[in-house]
Amino acid sequence: MSVDAAPSLRRSLAIVGVGIRREPRWFAFAVAGSTLYGVMTVLTASAIGKVTREQIQPAVKAGSVTSPQLWTIFAWVAGAVLLNVVGVVIRRIAAGFTMYNVAAGYRREVTRQYLRLPLSWHHRHPSGQLLSNANADVEATWNVFAPLPMALGVIVMLVAGIVQMVLVDPIMAVIGLTVFPALFLANLVFQRAMSPRVSRAQQLRAEVSEVAHESFEAALVVKSMGREEQEAVRFEEVTRRLQGANVDVGRTRGTFDPVIEAIPTIGTLAVLAVGTHQVAVGVLQPAAVVQVAYLISVLAFPVRALGWVLGELPRTVVGWDRVDAVLKARGELAFGDQQLKHSGAARSQLKGVDYSYDIVDEAGRESRFQAIHDVSIDVPAGSTVALVGPTGSGKSTLTNLTLRLVDPDRGDVTLDGTDLRRVVRGGVSSVAALVPQQTFMFDDTVRGNITLGLDHTDEEVWAALEVAQAYTFVEALGAGLDTRVGERGASLSGGQRQRIALARAIIRTPQLLVLDDATSAVDPAVEQAILAGLRRSSSGTTVLVVAYRMSTITLADEIVYVEHGRVVDHGTHQELQQRCEGYERLVTAYAREAAERAAVTADEEEVVR
Amino acid sequence: MSTSIEATSDLGTVATLRRGLELSPELRRGIGVTLALAAVTTVGRVVVPFVVQQTTDHGLLGKGGPDPGLVTRYVLLALIAVVATALSAYAVNVRLFRASEAGLASLRLRAFRHIHDLSTLTQNTERRGSMVSRVTSDVDTISQFVQFGGIILVLSLGQIAVATGLMLFYSPLLTAVVWLCFVPLLFVIRRFQTIVGRAYTAVRERVGDLLAAVSESVVGAATIRAYGVEERTAARIDAAIEGHRSAAIRAQVRSVVAFSSGQLVAGLTLAVVLVVGTVQAVHDDLTLGQLLAFLFLVNLFTQPVQQATEILNELQNAVAGWRRVIGVVDTRADVADPGDAGQVLPRGPITVDFEGVSFAYPGGATVLHDVDLSIAPRSRVAIVGETGSGKSTLAKLLTRLMDPSTGTVRIDGVDLRDVRFSSLRERVVLVPQEGFLFDATLRENVRFGRPDASDDDITLAITELGLDAWLAGLPQGLATEVGQRGESLSAGERQLVALARAYLADPDLLVLDEATSAVDPSTEVRLQRALEGLTRGRTSVAIAHRLSTAEAADEVVVVDRGHIVERGPHRELVRAGGVYSALYASWSAQQRG
C-alpha cells in the first residue's frame, strides 16, 4: 500500500467531513457544548474581574463585608464555573456518541463488505488484516472526533480573544497574534513530520496482528513440531520493527510538544517586554499590557486542542485509506431476478465450464491459472452422481461452481435450466446445500449451527441429527441441542463436526445436495449408516457426491471421473472400470493393495513353514 | 485443575501495576534519571508562569512605575527557564517512549510465547481473536497510558507539590481551604475509579467479542455463502458491534462524570478561596494583591489535579488491558517443558510404553481407562476404533500435547514429562487431520519441518513420498502460494503438504492422526508404501478409519470406549472374530461396493 507522505490538510478535513455527515446532530451538540465551554472560559476570567472590582475592592476599602456580598462573590464565580463544566460534559459525551456511532456504522459497512465480497477476494486478504480493518483501522480513522469539538470551540474562543485584544491595543494585539500563526505553523510542520511515521506504525501494528493471528491458528502444528521458538522469532521480528516505529513517533512528538508549549509563553514574555517599554515611554496603559498578556495565557492551553486535532489527522487518513480500500472493493457476485422452484429434485448442469484463478509468483507478478477445462456434467433430477478423481484434480472447485460459490470464466452452470447468474440473491442456497470437506462451525449452540436461524422444531433437528448419525453423541452432550460448540466447534471432534454439518444440510431438505467428501472423518460403520439414512430420507433430492469409497460410489447412478480439471470419462461404475484406467486404478487401490499384501504374507507364511 | 486462560487477572490496581512492572523490567530502566528530568520540567512549568506573574507585579505594576530594566532581566530569566523546560521535556518524552516501547515489546513477546506454551486443551478454551487482542490492542492501551498519561501523572503530582509550597508561602490558611475542598474529591475519585475501571474492562471484553464475530465472517466465508446466511451472520456481527459501541459510550459517560467532578471542585475551590480571602483581606490579614496572586496559584494547583483525575481514568483503561495480558501470562502451562532440568534423549529407534494410563477431560468423563501398551522400535502400529473411542486421545498423550490423569507414558524408558521439549519434538512428530498451512509458498510450508532444508531437500522429500507428479501439476511447483490457511489448495492437498512437512522433519516416531483422510486411495496407498520403505528404522503410529492402514501395519491396536480391546497383526485379528473383524468386514464391504 502506498501512503501519501504528507496527506493534504484538505483531504484529511474532507474525511472528517464525511464522518460529521454521519452524525450531524451529535456533532452539533458537541460543538455547542464546546462553544459554551469556550465562552465560559473567557467569561470566568471576566466574572472574577467583575466581583473583584464591584465587591471585593469596595469591601476591603470599607474594612467590612456583609454576607450578601460574600454570597454574590460566590454565586458569580461558582455560576460561571458550573456553566463551564456543563459545557465540558455536553461536549465530551456528545463527542463520545459521535465517535462511537460513526465507528460502529463503518464497522457495519466493512463487515457487510466481507459478507458481500467473493471468496476469491477473501483468499487474497489475510484474515488478520481484515480483522484489523474492521477494528483498529476504523478506530484510528474516527479517534479524531475526541479532540475535534474542543478544537472548534477553541476557534470561537480565539475569535473572541482576538477581538478583545484588538479593542485593547492594536499594536499589542499584533505582537500577541504572532503567537497563533507560529503555533499553527509549528503544528503544520509537526503534522507533516508525523504523517509518514504514524502510517508506518499503523501498518506494522496490523502486521503484528496478522502474524499473531496466523500463529495462534497454527498453534497445534507449531506445538506438535516444536516450532514455538521459530514462531517467537517471527513475532519478535515484526514486534521489534513496531517498537522502532513507535519510538520514532515518540521522538517526533517529543520534539514538537515542548516547542508548541513554549510558543505562547514566549509570546507573553514578548508582550511584557515590549509593553513595559511602551508604558515607560507613555504610549500605553499598564492595564492594557496585563490584559493582552492574560488573554494569551488563557488561550494558549485550549489552542493546543487544535494541535491535537492536527496530530490525529495523519492517523485518520491512514485508517481511512485502509478502510476505504475494503469499502471500494468490487467483484461481488451480481444477481438476477429468476426464482427457482422449491419442490421436487432439481437438475444440475455444468456446460463447457472453464475456471481459472489469480496466482502470484514469488516476484509478485500476477497471472491466471486454469484449474477447470471445458467441463460438462449433467446431474438429472432425482439422480445421484459421484465425482471421482485424484487429490487436487478440481473436484472441490466443481462443487463450488455447482452452487455458485464462484462463477465460471466461460460456460454455464444451471439449476433446472436456469443460469445461476440470473437467480435472485439467496435463491441458490435456498434450494441447494453443500457439505464441504472442511466444515465450519459457528460459535453457537448445536441447534443454532443446524438451523442457522431458520424456523425448525426440535423434532426436526433431532430427526436430521438421526440421519446424520449424530443423535447419540448430541444427546450425550451436557445440554443437548443447547450445548455451545465453542469457536469453530472447538469442543467437538472432526467426525462430530462433519456430522453436525451433514445435519445442517439434511434439515433443509434441499432439491440439490452436494457432499464434498463429507464423511472423511467418520468411521466406516457410521458412514454406512449415514448413507443408508440419506437414501431413505432424500427421495426428492438430487445428490452430487465427491467420494473415494467404493460403497458410496456404487450408490451413484452415474460416475464422472476427473483428472487435472478435465472430465476424463463418465458412465456407470462397470463401464468406467472396463474402459477408464485411471478410475480403475483409483477405486481399486485398497483392494489391490490388500490382495498384494495377502499374497506377500501368504508367501512369507509358506517360507516359514 | 483449571485449563482455561484467565479472562482477566483478579489483581487489584496496585498489584496489577507491580506485576506489570515485573513483567516489563525495561519500564523501570533509567527511571531515576527520567524522574529527575521530569522534576526539572515540573519546576520549569511552575516557575515560568510564576516569573511572568512577578514580572507583571514588580516590573510593570511596581510602585515606582514600569521598570524596563527589571522586566528585561526577568524576561531573560524566564526565557532560560523556558528553554531548559523544553529540553528536559524532550528528554523525558524520548526516554519514556524508549523505555515503554522496549518494556511493552517484551511483554508482547512474553505473552505470545506463553500462549504457545499453554497446553492444546487450554488454547482451545480461548477464542483466537481474543488471544490476538491480548498481544495487540490490550498492550496498546498500556502504551497509551504509560507514554502520555504516566508522565503527565508524574508531572501533575510534582506540580501539585510545588504549587502547595508556593501557596503556603502566601497564606497557610487559604492553602488549608484549598486542600479541604479537595479532600472529599479524593474519596469520590476512589469510588469513580472502581466504576470507570469496570466500564473499561467491559469495553475490552466487548472488543474480544467484536473480533470473534468479525473473524467468523472471514474464516467461515464459504459456509456463509453456501447456506445463504449472510443476513444472520450480519445480525450476529451487528450485535457484537452494538455491544462494543454501547459499552464504549457507557465508559465514556462514566469517565466524563468522574472528570467533571474534578473540574467542578476546582471551580468551587476558586469561589471559596475568593470568599475566605475577601474576609481575610477585610480583616487586614492579606492584601488584595496577595489575594489575586494566590488565585493565580490556585490555578496552578487545580489544573494538575484535574489532569490527574483524568489520567487516573485512563489508568483504569490501561489496568484493564494490563490485567488481560497478565491473565494470560500468569495462566499456568499445565503441560510444561521441563527445560534444562529435562533429559535430552539420543536419536535412534524409539520405544514407547503406556503404563496404567487414564485420561479424563477436566470436569468431563474418563475417555481412556488404565491403558497399558508397548510399541517396539521400528514397528508400524495402527490404532483403530470407532469415532469417540479415545484414539485421538492416545495420540495426544503419546506426543505430550496432554498429560495423562494417572499413569505414565515413556519413550525409551523415560517419562515424557522428564524429556526436554526440544528433544521430544525432534524425536516425535504428530501430523493432525487438519494440518494448518501458513499463508506462504509451498516451499516455506514444507520447510517449516526443517528450517535449514534446501530446495533439493524439499524436492527429494516430496519425490520420496511419491508426490512428485502432484507437485508437477501445481501452477508454480514449490513456489505455489497456498493462500490463507492453505485454502488455495484442496483439503487433500493440504494433508499432503502437512505430511511432507513432518516427513522432512525426520522424527524417530511419526504419529499420523487421520493424516491422509482426505487423500484419494491410490495416492494414499502410494504414500503408505513410500512411508513403509522409508520408515524402516523409524517407528510409526497411525490412527485411521481407512483400514488399508491397518492392513499394512505390523500391529493393530483396537480401542473401544477407552479400553484397548484387541491387539495383534491384522490377519490374526481378522481371524479372531472380535471387534476388529467386524470393523474390517464393514470396511471391505465398502471397498467392494
Looking at CA atoms only, how far is residue A536 from chain B in angstroms? Answer: 18
| Residue B593 confidence class, pLDDT cut points 50, 70, 90 | low
CATH superfamily label, A9-328: ABC transporter type 1, transmembrane domain (1.20.1560.10)
Set of cell numbers at residue A113: 463488505
B525 lies within 8 A of chain A by CB: yes
User: Is any Cβ of chain B less than 8 angstroms from the Cβ of A184?
Assistant: no
SS3 sequence of A537-597: HCCCCEEEEECCCHHHHCCCCEEEEEECCEEEEEECHHHHHHHCHHHHHHHCHHHHHHHHH
Measured between beta carbons, the chain A residues lying within 8 angstroms of B256 are: 88-89, 92-93, 96
Å between B278 CA and nearest CA of chain A? 6
Mean pLDDT value of segment B374-399: 89
The reply to whether residue A523 touches residue B387, judged by beta carbons under 8 angstroms, is yes
The B residues from 412 to 431 touching A (CB cutoff 8 Å) are 421-422, 424-426, 429-431
For an interface test with A, the pick among B143, B218, B434 (most A C-beta atoms closer than 10 Å) comes out as B218
Residue ranges, CATH 1.20.1560.10, chain A: 9-328
Of A286, A496, A553, the CB nearest to B61: A286
**How far apart are alpha carbons B294 and B301 in whole angstroms?**
10
Q: Which amino acid is at A340?
A: L
* β-sheet with A348-360: strand ranges across: A366-379, A348-360, A410-415, A418-419
CB contact under 8 A, A517 and B98: no
Rounded CA separation A546/A532 (Å): 17
Contact B275, A72 (CB under 8 A): no
Model confidence over B79-125: pLDDT tens digits?
A: 999 999 999 989 988 998 999 999 999 999 999 999 999 988 888 87
Distance of CA B296 to the CA centre of its chain: 48
Instruction: Find which of A229, A235, A590 to mutate to test the B interface (most B CBs within 10 Å of its CB).
Output: A590
Class of domain B13-329: mainly alpha
Query: Does A361 touch chain B if contact means CB atoms closer than 8 Å?
Result: yes
The pLDDT, as a whole number, for residue A555 is 80
B216·A443 Cβ contact <8 A? yes
Rounded Cα distance, A180 and B584, in Å? 88
* Residue B547 touches chain A, beta carbons under 8 Å: yes
Grid-cell match 515560568, residue found: B48
Helix (H, G, I), strand (E, B) or coil at A374: strand
Is A226 within 8 Å of B291 when comparing Cβ atoms? Answer: no
Q: Where are the domains of chain B?
A: 13-329, 352-592
A302–B contact, CB cutoff 8 A: no
The phi and psi torsions of A374 (rounded to 5 degrees) equal: 45, 55
Please give the pLDDT value at position B59: 78
Among A22, A73, A127, A420, most B C-beta atoms within 10 A, so best to mutate, is A127
Tell whether B571 is within 8 A of chain A (Cβ): yes
CA A211, A217, A218, A219 torsion: positive or negative?
A: positive
CB contact (8 A) between residue A111 and residue B214: yes
Q: Treating both helix axes as pointing N-terminal to C-terminal, what angle do B68-117 and B151-170 enclose, rounded to 10 degrees? A: 140
Torsion sign, CA atoms B513, B517, B523, B524 = positive
Say how far apart CA A314 and CA A144 lie, in whole Å.
Answer: 10
Interface of A with B in 458-497 (CB under 8 A): 473, 486-488, 490-491, 493-496
Closest residue of chain A to B448, computed from CA coordinates: A227
**A606 CB within 8 Å of a chain B CB:** no
Please answer yes or no on whether A60 and B295 come within 8 Å at the CB atom. Answer: no
Predicted local distance difference test score (pLDDT) of residue A374: 96
Counting Cα atoms < 13 Å in the Cβ hemisphere of B264 gives 17
Q: Tell me if A429 and B226 make a contact (CB, 8 A cut-off).
A: yes
pLDDT digits (tens, 9 = 90+) for B433-480: 888 899 889 999 999 888 899 999 999 999 989 899 899 888 888 999
- pLDDT score at A609: 54
pLDDT in tens, B120-152: 888 887 777 778 888 988 898 888 888 777 777
Do the beta carbons of residue A52 and residue B292 sit within 8 Å? yes
Hey, what CATH class is B352-592 in? Answer: alpha beta
Strands B509-513 and B428-431: parallel
Note the ipTM here.
Answer: 0.87
How many Å lie between the alpha carbon of A8 and the closest alpha carbon of chain B? 26
Any A CB within 8 A of B222 CB: yes
B333-347: average pLDDT: 89
More confident position, A94 or B258: A94
Pull the grid cell for residue A242.
513496531
The yes-or-no verdict on residue B1 having pLDDT over 50 is: no
Interface mutation vs chain B, best among A194, A373, A520, most B CBs within 10 Å: A520
CA dihedral A291, A296, A297, A298 (to 10 degrees): 80
B242 vs B29, residue with greater confidence: B242
> How much is the pLDDT for B535?
57
Going by C-alpha positions, the residue among B241, B215, B213 that lies closest to residue A108 is B241
Tell me if chain B has a CB within 8 Å of the CB of A53: no
Measured between alpha carbons, how far is A431 from A403 in angstroms, rounded to an integer? 10
| B474/A272 Cβ within 8 A | no
Query: How far apart are the C-alpha atoms of A68 and A72, rounded to whole Å?
Result: 6
The residue with greater pLDDT, B46 or A516, is: A516
Q: Tell me if the domain spanning A348-596 has CATH number 3.40.50.300.
A: yes
A373 vs B526 pLDDT, higher one: A373
All residues of chain A having their beta carbon less than 8 Å from the beta carbon of residue B143 are 246
* Alpha-carbon gap, residue A160 to A299, rounded angstroms: 10
Bridge-based pairing state of the strands A410-415 and A418-419: antiparallel
**CA of B421: how far to CAs of A114, A380, B245, B338, B343, in Å?**
40, 56, 44, 7, 9
Contacts of A496 in chain B (CB under 8 A): 387-388
Secondary structure string (H, E, C) spanning B241-267: HHHHHHHHHHHHHHHHHHHHHHHHHHH
Q: Which of residues 245-264 of B touch A (CB under 8 A)?
A: 245, 248-249, 252-253, 256-257, 259-260, 263-264
Residues in chain A predicted with pLDDT less than 70, given as ranges, are: 1-7, 300-301, 304, 524, 538-539, 604-609
Half-sphere exposure of B3 (CA within 13 A, CB side): 15
Cβ proximity of B548 and B524 under 8 Å: yes
**Same fold: B13-329 with B352-592:** no
Q: What is the CA radius of gyration of chain B?
A: 35
The answer to whether B96 contacts chain A (CB < 8 Å) is yes
For residues B186 and B258, is the Cβ–Cβ distance under 8 A? Answer: no
| Residue of chain B nearest A269, judged by CA positions | B75
| Partner A contacted by B4 (CB < 8 A) | no
Residue B140 near chain A (CB below 8 Å): yes
